[in-house]
Structures are given as C-alpha cells and as structure tokens.
Amino acid sequence: MGKISYLFLLSVCIFFNACQKGPSVDIPFRAYVTIPAGLNTGLSHHFIVQNIPGVNYENLEDAQPAYVTLTIEYGEINLDFIQQGFFLTRDGTLTQEIAYQTNLPITNYSSIQLYPSILNMSEHISQDLFDMELKLIFRSIPVTETKIRIDFGIQGVLGG
C-alpha cells in the first residue's frame, strides 16, 4: 500500500507542476465617468472611457479580468439608481464584456462590484492607450450629476 500511495502522490505533484504557468502580476487601472442628472430608465446609457494608459510587459501571455468596482466620487448618495452594469473593452467597433452584474440589489451602498468575465485582455491592455465602455441601465432617474470612479484589475500571467 505504501508504494501505491507514494506513486499516487508523485504523479499528483508532477501533474500540478506541469500545469503551472509563469509568475502572475496584478495590474490595476482607474478611470472616471460622469453621469448627468435626469437620464431616463427606458434606455441603456453608454459612457466611453478613452485613452487609458496601457502596460508594457514583453512576456504577458494571459490577462484575465480580476475585479471591477464602481464607487461614487460625488453626486448621488448611493448607487441604487443603477439596475444593471456592464464594463466592456472597446476597440473600434468591437466591444467585449469584461464584467457585468444584472439585477443589482438595493443596498444603500456607495460602491458596487461587477462579476468578471473570462476574456484574455493581453492585447488590449498592451496598447499605448486603450478605451473601455461602461454600460448602465437605471432603475430610477439620477437626480444629481454623479461622478463614478471605476477601479478595475487584471490578473496577468507572464511567460518564461
């Protein structure tokens, strides 16, 4: 029984060692959008964030969205006026979703988290400047102009 356990343990170690990728790196970004007062609830509203400085990693093999947080800087007292939120890459006419949350709960919080999607963003964030898009659907009309800070992070994997 000892030899079988030893061989099993050895094969598991070899399997996990073979599956390991290179070192990982956390890549944080920050952007801002301003939501005008009085936008209605019948449409989706798109806010373009342009010219975000990219990163320069020669050996960036994979870059997955890790988190997206929306936080009020000034304006409304909470984000309960938002029913659905989507954060998208934007490259010309091509958009891809990196994070979302539908049916946001009414929480009286000044920040919300979106759920990250599975998307390799290595080419997108490696550009000198890149663009993103925040798509929001409101449950109620924002009464005041509201500035929202968007903190988003990418988990990068570096090659050997």
Is a pLDDT exceeding 50 seen at residue 17?
no
Average pLDDT over residues 32-55: 95
The answer to whether position 98 is within a domain reads yes
pTM confidence score? 0.84
What pLDDT, on the 0 to 100 scale, is given for residue 73?
97
Tell whether 11 is covered by a domain.
no
Starting at the edge strand that comes first in sequence, how are the strands of the sheet with 94-101 ordered? 24-35, 146-158, 60-74, 111-116, 94-101, 82-91, 129-138, 44-53
- Categorize the per-residue pLDDT at 52 as very low, low, confident or very high, splitting at 50, 70 and 90: very high
pLDDT at 138 > cutoff 90: yes
Number of domains in the chain: 1
Express as a percent the part of the chain with pLDDT over 90: 78
Q: Give a yes or no: residue 14 inside a domain.
A: no
**Does 110 reside within a domain?**
yes
Domain of 55, CATH number, reads 2.60.120
Specify the pLDDT at position 10: 47
| pLDDT per residue as tens digits for the range 55-105 | 998 889 999 999 999 999 999 999 999 999 999 999 888 899 999 999 898
Does 10 map to a domain?
no
CB of 100 within 8 A of CB of 70?
Answer: no
- Residue 15 within any structural domain of the chain: no
Taking residues 113-126, report their average pLDDT.
94
- 12-16, 17-21, 60-64: the lowest-pLDDT one: 12-16
Domain encompassing residue 48: 22-158
- Residue 23's Cβ-count burial label (10 Å; 0-12, 13-18, 19+) is exposed
Indicate whether 7 belongs to any domain. no
Residue scoring higher pLDDT (150 or 59) = 150
In a domain, 2, yes or no: no
Q: What is the pLDDT of residue 140?
A: 95
